[in-house]
Amino acid sequence: MRCYYIETLPEGIGELKELRLLDVTGCKSLKEIPMNLIGRLKKLEELLIGKDSFKEWDVWTSTGIMNASLKEVNSLSQLAVLSLRIPEVECIPRDFVFPRLHKYDIILGNYYSSTGDPVGYPTSTRLFLGGISATSLNANTFEQLFPTVSQIVFKRVVGLKNIILFSGQRKGFLQRLEFVEVDGCEDICTLFPVKLLQALKNIRSVNIESCGSLEEVFELGEGSKEEKELPLLSSLKTLKLSRLLKLKCIWKGPTRHVSLQSVVHLKLFLLAKLTFIFTASLAQSLPQLETLEVSCCDELKYIITEQDDERAIIPEFLSFQKLKTLFISDCDKLEYVFPGSLRVFVFAVVVVVAVGKK
């Protein structure tokens, strides 16, 4: 529906007992959905409200109408596709649980900025949290969503310690996670803790910006037998890190069970405390790397460090078969691009831009 001026959803819609799809994403003036209207649509399979339409759940309106309750959404047993926004997460009932969904685009909080494709019909499973406190969320509310979420975005979430929102969640609860974006979350020290190794198997894109307390991105452990057979981070394609003034390392811990075999783009900007990017053993697992951009990393000494505290076998040569762009700017302490003790083979056209203050 693209009824830009409709303010109240007609009561008569609740009588459409066979209705399968209700789409009000274009109704930007919609402020009233009468209580029990949505709950009467028992055969509803798709409910599309979106980010710009109705947001005022469970409140009395200025015209004396009690608005729809989120519990009505939970009562729709056949609901498979959902898009909605809940600006005030404190109003979510403690016993509310999102239904089992195949596709969804759910926005929680009063801060929202679009990243990537415009929000329309849900094509995947995305959860966006912005401008809220992590402690205001109830774990039970999301127990149906986390095993299926493929994209998760955190913007200005207070009290977020890492990507695990709630302690005690079952193993594999983020098993389908592919895309992670974190921006302006000042309480994070480690984004991916070691106990989240299972979730890293499908991760394809990580974008982190302006997290003032972040010290490391990936905390790595020894791993189980199963994890050793399937290298960690082997699906990662894009990693973007910017404005992380306390970041000391990208990967903390033993990297011998890590493979960057799918990484295509790596972009680093304003990482004030980072001293190196890759160990030599990590660098040899980069056959797909096309772009490496590094700028304003004041303490960076090495792109590839020759030191290996894990006693791994240091390779004699490295091969970057698909490297097209190598951009280095304002990294005043960088000693060299590639170690002299290693033979580095580059097969593609490489653009090197090195600008410093020296």
| Per-residue model confidence as pLDDT tens for the chain (358 residues) | 567 788 899 999 999 999 999 999 988 899 999 999 999 999 999 999 988 889 889 888 888 888 999 999 989 999 999 999 999 888 888 888 999 999 999 999 988 766 544 456 898 999 999 999 988 888 888 888 888 999 999 999 999 988 888 766 655 678 889 999 999 999 999 999 887 766 678 899 999 999 999 999 998 876 555 555 567 899 999 999 999 999 999 998 888 788 899 999 999 999 999 999 998 778 888 889 999 999 999 999 989 887 655 555 556 667 788 888 889 999 989 988 877 655 666 665 556 655 555 4
| pTM of this structure | 0.89
Q: Which two tokens stand for residue 146?
A: 């986390």
- Beta strand 205-209 pairing with 249-252: unpaired
Radius of gyration of the chain (CA): 24
Residue 190 within any structural domain of the chain? no
pLDDT at res. 129: 94
Helix or strand or coil: residue 283? helix
Residue 139 within any structural domain of the chain? no
Q: Which two tokens stand for residue 210?
A: 């302006």
Residue-number span of the structural domain to which 50 is assigned? 1-103+112-120
Residue 130 within any structural domain of the chain? no
Element (H, E) at 51: none
Helices (H) and strands (E) in the chain, counts: 3, 20
- Contact between 44 and 16 (Cβ < 8 Å): no
Residue 4 within any structural domain of the chain? yes
Residue 259 within any structural domain of the chain? no
Residue 244 within any structural domain of the chain? no
Residue 147 within any structural domain of the chain? no
- Contact between 344 and 338 (Cβ < 8 Å): yes
DSSP state of 315: P
**Pairwise CA distance, residues 28 & 76, whole Å:** 24
- Give bridge partners of residue 353 from the DSSP assignment: 327
Q: How many domains, the chain?
A: 1
Residue 16 within any structural domain of the chain? yes
